[in-house]
């Protein structure tokens, strides 16, 4: 399509009006004017001077089309011919430079992007004592690079999608061809393609599309660690990367993954087995302990040893609230402290600890607002819920449910609560796979990396394909 | 959808089927009864002494457990408990009641009138201990207990910790009391508590002998030594201590402790007499020897003969004494009726004879292999 220099330039100026960082750089040559349009913050000034402006200043009479200029003049790695004014705008906003010629009816774009970014740093959430330390950052290409360094295989496929009507965000779906079930890839491809959304800023926008049913549990999660994502790709899962997010989704997600940690694969397998048991046990403790405490200390006093009954009764003597209110109040205080701790800068985290320990702990007891025994129970609850951070939010919600049922009906309510939760968990699915896999699908699955970790050579191999769907 | 509806209906039904015992009660609002002493008044009405725990409403380090005593009378035990509800600020809770003590006066009058509630009311535990106290309840409640403030907890620990270590002490729960009552013979044997003066002049409460109830009425009192014989008849306590004369040193004694004792009991009826056979086999170990002892084969044989003779004598005397009183502490009638349900004897104990078959092996307390 022939481009009229003045019409095109006018259109861009109108469209990008009131944007101070858009630069219109004119170059006068012997043949006429050339205008470069770019956003100052998104380009590399040195590269634009050396690889675009300087060569263009010396443009001769022999070059009469864009293709020749791209091949012989421009020294940028990636160049393209732009056809419509709107794609020109998109290129400018994406950090490319577009070039308008007064004497050639074509528009070219060059990639000389450079923007401030966080370097590849240590993992902050999924920390491992041993093994690789690096984590994803916000730059999509960096993240892909981290994965490619680990999987040098031509079967590693990367499919790109542009999602978000306004944000035009790049989303990349990665999988291992031949390992990942094709129906899983097409399911994810279909879901992402069907997304009709104005903008996406994080991978959670994608994750929410895959949520099935109403649940507090994350039916799709991921990792900030390239080694973890790479191992999941080898297992036959699909990774979803979103530009601007240092977190990569892996699908499907199984409940048991929340008890696996990155350094499980870098430590002695027997130690790992023991620690996983502790993690699973911790979930049960955090789910059950407050409910059990309320059930026994309010409905089944006869189940308490007499000396403990005396101790609890003495410690609660001055507490003005019923035990159910006291426990829920302490649970709320704990959640508040936890949420405040996440939001606070590290420098004042210590102050929060002091406030929590002194005010919520000892002072609340002395003031008669809570009892020693409840503080001990909630302390154990807090510690055990910290052990599995990925399920702590969901487990605290279910804890409240179990506490309320326990207060109403004692042990009866307690067990009803647990049964309801178990039924709920078994009903969940992640990308069509049972969420509590391999539990319930044991006929086709040999458990090599769930409760216990087998030898590294025998795990992480086509898990999804071998496991099958129930 | 149908499955979901069914599940919801099932859960609601389950939530509604919790029974009366599961009622919300804050533990600090409960008056935790730890012991009950049942006495009778002049007109036979029950007077119950409740020992209970109620926490004091103070904060900080001054907090302490508060022992409270209530004495309540009424026409029935239920009426007494209803009255108790109006006396304390907290609602009585009997799920931590460790012992129900009947005064000797109540036992003599008969417990029939005072025990029904303990079996019928779900809040009262069948696992609480039962005993008979020979004395005034006030004295018992004021008794100095070694390190304990609560009578209930003291006896709970005493029976739990020493039951299998001393043949002179028997442990009876509420459930055993009712079992005995409804078995043939209707005999229940309960530990007897008495106040005895200690060396420091203070009175201390001890378990001393046992009260024998027939149809919930006191008919005999076993001495502490007789409780030992009773334990062998019932085969309840494996550790029996036998004290016999030292064959190497006349005038001094040797204490032997039974080890791995096995007792088999058999009842046979030949139409004229009922033979109660007790086959006792086991080892005895040296526990103490006054003066020196030289365990030559002859002396060991002497000890063995003396020990068997003592066991035979004690058990024989015990059997004859209570047979003469028609008090079936041997559980003979129950065994007889079960084995010969077609026989219509009025009082099987009258036709009973005791046959003892005792085998004892004496072993050393230290080097077992070298000893033999």
Task: Give me B30's structure tokens.
Answer: 């409960």
Q: Is A203 on the interface with B (CB under 8 A)?
A: no
Q: How far is B54 from chain A (nearest CA, A)?
A: 8
- Chain B's closest residue to A301, CA to CA, is B95
Query: Which of B18, B26, B153 has its CB closest to that of A306?
Result: B153
CA-to-CA distance for A235 and A181, rounded, in angstroms? 11
Letter string b/e over residues A327-336, b meaning 16 or more CB atoms within 10 A of that residue's CB: bbbbbebbbe
CB A240 within 8 A of CB A206: yes
Nearest residue to A290 via CA among A333, A236, A336: A333
Q: Is A313 on the interface with B (CB under 8 A)?
A: yes
Q: Is A327 on the interface with B (CB under 8 A)?
A: no
Q: Is A194 on the interface with B (CB under 8 A)?
A: no
Residues 272 through 301 of chain A touching chain B, CB cutoff 8 Å: 297-301
> Distance from CA of residue B271 to its chain's centroid?
35
Stated as kind and residue range, the H or E segment containing B25 is none
CA torsion B335-B340-B341-B342 (nearest 10°) is -160
Inter-chain touch A409–B56, beta carbons under 8 Å: no
CA terminus-to-terminus distance, chain B:
78
Radius of gyration of the CA atoms of chain A, in A: 29
Q: How does pLDDT run across A261-308, given as a tens digit for each residue?
A: 888 888 888 888 899 999 999 999 999 999 999 999 998 888 899 989
Which residues in chain A are closer than 8 Å to B125, comparing Cβ atoms? 302
Residue A343 burial (10 A CB sphere; 0-12, 13-18, 19+): exposed
- Chain A's closest residue to B62, CA to CA, is A314
H helical segments located in A321-361: 323-343, 349-355
Nearest residue to B130 via CA among B36, B1, B13: B36
pLDDT on residue B46: 92
pLDDT on residue B58: 66
Are β-strands A238-242 and A221-223 bridged in parallel, bridged antiparallel, or unpaired?
unpaired
Q: Is A312 on the interface with B (CB under 8 A)?
A: yes
Reported pTM: 0.79
Residue with structure tokens 């240092």? A246
- The DSSP 8-state label assigned to residue A248 in this structure reads E
CA-to-CA distance for B119 and A280, rounded, in angstroms? 43
Query: Which of A298, A365, A408 has its CB closest to that of B25?
Result: A298
Nearest residue to B254 via CA among B303, B290, B300: B290
Q: How far is B197 from chain A (nearest CA, A)?
A: 29
pLDDT on residue B231: 87
pLDDT on residue B164: 61
Q: A116: which residues sit within 8 A by CB, 6+ positions away? A: none
Q: Which residues of chain B have pLDDT under 70?
A: 1-2, 14-22, 58-65, 163-165, 199, 364-372
Q: What interhelical angle do B112-120 and B174-182 show, nearest 10?
A: 120
Largest CA distance in chain B: 90
CA-to-CA distance for B177 and A15, rounded, in angstroms? 97
Three-state DSSP class for residue A87:
helix
pLDDT on residue A469: 43
pLDDT on residue B1: 62
- Chain A's closest residue to B10, CA to CA, is A416
CA atoms within 13 A on the CB side of A348: 6
Query: Which of A318, A408, A410 has its CB closest to that of B57?
Result: A318
Q: Is A420 on the interface with B (CB under 8 A)?
A: yes
pLDDT on residue A3: 78
Q: How does pLDDT run across A115-149, given as a tens digit for each residue?
A: 777 787 887 777 777 888 888 988 888 899 999 98
Residues 174 through 213 of chain B touching chain A, CB cutoff 8 Å: none
Nearest residue to A39 via CA among A30, A52, A48: A48
Inter-chain touch B32–A367, beta carbons under 8 Å: no
CA-to-CA distance for B203 and A192, rounded, in angstroms? 87
CB A448 within 8 A of CB A454: yes
Which residues in chain B are closer than 8 Å to A318, comparing Cβ atoms? 57-59
Query: Which of A317, A366, A412 has its CB closest to that of B55?
Result: A317
Which residues in chain A are closer than 8 Å to B60, comparing Cβ atoms? 366
**Complex confidence, ipTM:** 0.84
H helical segments located in A64-176: 66-72, 85-93, 140-150
Q: Is B35 on the interface with A (CB under 8 A)?
A: no
pLDDT on residue A133: 86
Are β-strands B187-197 and B203-214 bridged in parallel, bridged antiparallel, or unpaired?
antiparallel
CA terminus-to-terminus distance, chain A:
55
Inter-chain touch B15–A408, beta carbons under 8 Å: yes
Which residues in chain A are closer than 8 Å to B56, comparing Cβ atoms? 314, 317
Domain ranges for chain A: 5-111, 140-253, 269-427
Q: Is A132 on the interface with B (CB under 8 A)?
A: no
Nearest residue to B30 via CA among B126, B80, B121, B95: B95
CA-to-CA distance for B41 and B135, rounded, in angstroms? 14
CB A380 within 8 A of CB A285: yes
- The DSSP 8-state label assigned to residue A297 in this structure reads H
Q: Count the neighbouring beta carbons within 10 Å of the beta carbon of residue B29.
A: 18
Residue with structure tokens 């009778």? B40
Which residues in chain A are closer than 8 Å to B98, comparing Cβ atoms? 306
- How many CB contacts within 8 angstroms connect chain A with chain B? 100
pLDDT on residue B367: 47
pLDDT on residue A444: 55
Interface test with B, best of A213, A297, A300, A318 (most B CBs within 10 A): A318
Which residues in chain B are closer than 8 Å to A322, comparing Cβ atoms? 24, 26
Which residues in chain A are closer than 8 Å to B126, comparing Cβ atoms? none
**Average pLDDT for runs of 10 along chain A of length 470:** 83 88 89 89 86 85 80 82 86 89 88 79 79 86 90 90 88 91 91 89 84 84 89 90 91 87 83 90 94 92 90 88 91 84 71 69 77 90 88 91 91 89 88 81 60 72 53
Interface test with A, best of B10, B15, B20, B27 (most A CBs within 10 A): B27
CB A55 within 8 A of CB A75: yes
Q: Is A309 on the interface with B (CB under 8 A)?
A: yes
CB A219 within 8 A of CB A210: yes
CA-to-CA distance for A335 and A364, rounded, in angstroms? 16
């Amino acid at each position: 399509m022939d481009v009229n220099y003045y019409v095109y330039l006018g259109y861009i100026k109108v469209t990008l009006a009131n944007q101070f960082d858009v630069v219109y750089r004119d170059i006068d040559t012997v043949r006429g004017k050339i205008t470069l349009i770019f956003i100052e913050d998104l380009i590399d000034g040195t590269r634009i001077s050396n690889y675009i402006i300087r060569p263009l200043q010396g443009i001769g009479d022999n070059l009469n089309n864009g293709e020749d200029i791209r091949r012989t003049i421009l020294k940028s790695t990636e160049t393209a011919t732009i056809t419509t004014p709107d794609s020109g705008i998109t290129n400018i906003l994406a950090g490319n430079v577009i070039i308008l010629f007064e004497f050639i009816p074509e528009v070219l774009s060059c990639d000389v992007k450079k923007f401030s970014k966080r370097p590849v740093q240590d993992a902050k959430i999924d920390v491992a004592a041993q093994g690789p330390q690096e984590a994803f950052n916000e730059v999509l290409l960096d993240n892909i690079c981290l994965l490619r360094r680990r999987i040098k295989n031509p079967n590693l496929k990367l499919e790109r999608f542009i999602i978000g009507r306004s944000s035009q965000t790049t989303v990349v779906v990665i999988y291992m061809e031949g390992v990942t079930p094709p129906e899983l890839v097409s399911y994810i491809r279909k879901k992402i393609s069907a997304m009709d959304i104005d903008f996406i800023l994080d991978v959670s926008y994608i994750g929410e599309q895959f949520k099935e049913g109403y649940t507090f549990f994350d039916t799709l999660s991921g990792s900030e660690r390239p080694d973890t994502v790479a191992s999941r790709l080898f297992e036959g899962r699909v990774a979803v990367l979103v530009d601007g997010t240092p977190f990569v989704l892996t699908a499907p997600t199984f409940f048991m993954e929340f008890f696996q940690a990155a350094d499980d694969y870098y430590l002695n397998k027997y130690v790992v087995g023991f620690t996983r048991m502790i993690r699973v046990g911790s979930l049960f403790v955090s789910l059950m302990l407050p409910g059990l405490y309320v059930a026994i200390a309010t409905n089944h006093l006869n189940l308490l040893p007499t000396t403990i009954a005396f101790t609890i009764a003495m410690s609660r003597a001055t507490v003005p609230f019923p035990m159910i209110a006291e426990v829920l109040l302490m649970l709320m205080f704990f959640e508040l402290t936890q949420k405040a701790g996440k939001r606070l800068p590290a420098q004042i985290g210590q102050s929060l600890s002091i406030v929590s320990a002194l005010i919520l702990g000892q002072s609340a007891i002395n003031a008669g607002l809570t009892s020693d025994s409840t503080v001990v129970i909630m302390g154990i609850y807090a510690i055990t819920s910290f052990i599995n951070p990925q399920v702590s939010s969901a487990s605290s919600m279910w804890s409240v449910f179990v506490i309320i049922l326990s207060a109403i009906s004692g042990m009866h309510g307690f067990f009803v609560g647990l049964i309801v939760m178990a039924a709920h968990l078994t009903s969940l699915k992640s990308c069509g796979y049972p969420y509590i896999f391999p539990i319930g699908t044991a006929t086709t699955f040999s458990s090599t990396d769930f409760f216990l970790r087998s030898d590294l050579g025998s795990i992480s191999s086509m898990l999804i394909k071998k496991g099958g769907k129930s | 959808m149908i499955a979901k509806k069914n599940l919801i209906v099932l859960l609601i039904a389950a939530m509604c089927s919790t029974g009366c015992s599961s009622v919300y009660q804050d533990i600090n609002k409960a008056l935790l009864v730890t012991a009950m002493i049942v006495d009778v008044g002049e007109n036979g009405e029950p007077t119950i002494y409740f020992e209970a725990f109620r926490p004091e409403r103070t904060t900080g380090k001054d907090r302490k457990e508060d022992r409270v005593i209530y004495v309540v009378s009424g026409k029935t035990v239920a009426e007494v408990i209803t009255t108790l509800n109006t006396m304390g600020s907290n609602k009585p809770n009997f799920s931590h009641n460790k012992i129900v003590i009947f005064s000797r006066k109540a036992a003599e009058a008969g417990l029939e009138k005072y025990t029904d509630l303990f079996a019928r009311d779900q809040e009262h535990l069948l696992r609480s201990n039962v005993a008979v106290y020979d004395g005034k309840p006030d004295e018992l409640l004021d008794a100095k207990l070694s390190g304990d403030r609560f009578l209930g907890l003291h006896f709970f620990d005493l029976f739990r910790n020493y039951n299998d270590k001393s043949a002179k002490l028997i442990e009876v729960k509420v459930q055993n009391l009712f079992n005995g009552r409804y078995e043939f013979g209707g005999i229940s044997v309960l530990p007897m508590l008495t106040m005895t003066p200690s060396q420091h002049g203070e009175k201390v409460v001890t378990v001393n002998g046992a009260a024998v109830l027939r149809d919930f009425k006191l008919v005999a009192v076993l001495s502490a030594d007789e409780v030992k014989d009773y334990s062998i008849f019932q085969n309840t306590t494996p550790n029996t201590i036998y004290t016999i004369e030292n064959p190497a040193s006349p005038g001094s004694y040797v204490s032997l402790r039974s080890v791995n004792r096995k007792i088999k009991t058999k009842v046979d009826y030949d139409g004229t007499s009922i033979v109660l056979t007790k086959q006792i086999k086991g080892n005895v170990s040296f526990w103490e020897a006054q003066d020196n002892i030289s365990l030559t084969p002859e002396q060991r044989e002497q000890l063995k003969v003396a020990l068997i003779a003592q066991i035979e004598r004690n058990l024989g005397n015990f059997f004859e004494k209570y047979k003469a009183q028609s008090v079936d502490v041997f559980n003979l009638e129950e065994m007889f009726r079960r084995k010969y349900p077609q026989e219509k004897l009025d009082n099987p104990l009258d036709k009973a004879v005791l046959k003892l078959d005792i085998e004892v092996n004496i072993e050393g307390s230290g080097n077992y292999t070298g000893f033999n």
